[in-house]
Structure 1
Amino acid sequence: MSGFRTTMLLAALTALFMGLGYTLGGSGGAMIALVVAAGMNLFTYWNADKIVLSMHGAREVDEQSAPDFVGLVRQLAMRAGLPMPRVYIIDSPHPNAFATGRNPQNAAVAATTGLLAMLNRDEIAGVMAHELGHVRNRDTLVMTMTATIAGAISMLANFGMFFGHDRERGGNMLATIAAMLIAPFAAMIVQLAISRTREYGADRAGAEISGKPRALASALAKLAQGAERVPNPVAEANPAAAALYIVPALSGRGGDSLFSTHPDTGNRIAALEEMAVRMGGQPAMPGSASVPVSRKRRSALDPLGRG
């Protein structure tokens, strides 16, 4: 269902682009805008992982520097049938995580030290399984396609401001101006809708990969509260990066609204609880997801020994 919805939203973006081009009537300008937008997003597609990781000051870790964390990701990747991704840690108290890379063969996953200090092992496994779910579902490719079309719409609208509408078609100037103002806004709404749809899919995939839906639900509850309290300088400076994370990175931006980057956390938790029942899972037992990770284990997860 989420795949069908994403396809329909991508189709809506494409129709929006074609409709704007028709309204403006500038076929030459539309082609230039599309080529430039495609070129920009092609560059982003090939270099997105480097850009995002550098933006966050992420450092790559391995079995020597973070044995527990990397070992956990390796185990989850094997269960998901994926190549081992590169693993990064971000030195930030803001608790969050994300995946990046153009395909499973070039993927990277990252978590903040705030997340590693806040969650126990089962919850961390749920979070990283969620990120591997994004990789397996090729969400980075979907979002790149979305960004390409939405970028073309915005650029075409900007061109329209300069070149106007096709007078040979007798277009209405007010309609043209309205289209130039409304189309980029509508494209943004569709982008956010696609982002929310992909989060539900990654939650399902993460629960399947980890085998513990309730651990992921517990992690989402903790992370949503923690991310609300602790600011994220990267997301504040670059709001477009907010859709990357497993929970909203901007205060007051969650909740299934048109302008939210993520589904409501409560709805996500409810869906995971239903999934746990279908999988025949029982409430977390002592010593599992309900017990905080030991200081020794947490030190292994965080090479800096924080928390």
Structure 2
Amino acid sequence: MNNNLYQILFDEFKNFENNICFDVPGQRKWSFKDVDILSSFFVSYLRRLGLKKGDRIISQTEKSIASVGLYLACLRGGIIYTPLNTSYTLSEVEYFIENIKPKLFVCSPERLKKISLTCEKLDIPNYRALGTSQDDPFLEEILGLEQDNKIEQCYEDDTAAILFTSGTTGKSKGAMITHGNLSSNAFALKQSWGFTRNDTLLHALPIFHVHGLFVALHTALLSASKIIFLEKFDTSQVNESLKEASVMMGVPTFYNRLISEEGFDKNIYTGVRLFISGSAPLTEKTFSEFKDKTDHSIL
């Protein structure tokens, strides 16, 4: 049995390959087949660079479907993925590079010049810029390659990702997260929250931490659910997207901003069955005000 998380996700959504996986408002819709193909192009590039199972990459990119494709490619290739907060300074990034020693660093285009100097200083062999536009040069290069559909054989205890702690009690430390950790968590959340392919998840979270990358994406992909994929939290856009959603995952500040929005109306949320909050404590005040205005309890 292949315990590669990507294999597990693929086995769940392959029977619905023509269903919409990602709906990016104002851009395009991506089917599950489209997403699988995108990840196969990315893993082809990674393997052409010589990356193999157990090698590491760092990604400090803005939220986009291309960034998701890169992450899924790392999973399917057995390559260890480390996402970094896009607000980290260059000195902070240097610390992470020294710890991870990646074979590839991927950043947003505006950071490439400074990142390249740091990578050269630290003998990091490969660095590339990945933007958010559909005509991004790196993305166009990726899509010009041959697909590589192989999914690497992985065991439950093989490392899938390294995420750094917040560093509130000292320097950030890398936490090694296995394919088994991620798959068992996704299955547990799918069951607990009753996710099915009939759900539509509103995703406005960043994808450089556990909540947005692992909890939200994995649970939806494992369930073959549709994902409305917002590049950032915008109150008016969230309100509009909630008309089509059945589940929303957010952080307390999201709900505080929704409550304070003029015209906040529970009629917008008639199709939503579940509101979830994580990453930080939800105050009793926010919980009560949201329930009073929407008749929904935030989980």
| Larger-gyration structure (1/2) | 1
Larger % of helix: which?
1
Larger % of strand: which?
2
After TM superposition, the score normalised by the length of structure 2 is: 0.25
Higher relative contact order (CA 8 A, sep 6+): 1
After TM superposition, the score normalised by the length of structure 1 is: 0.25
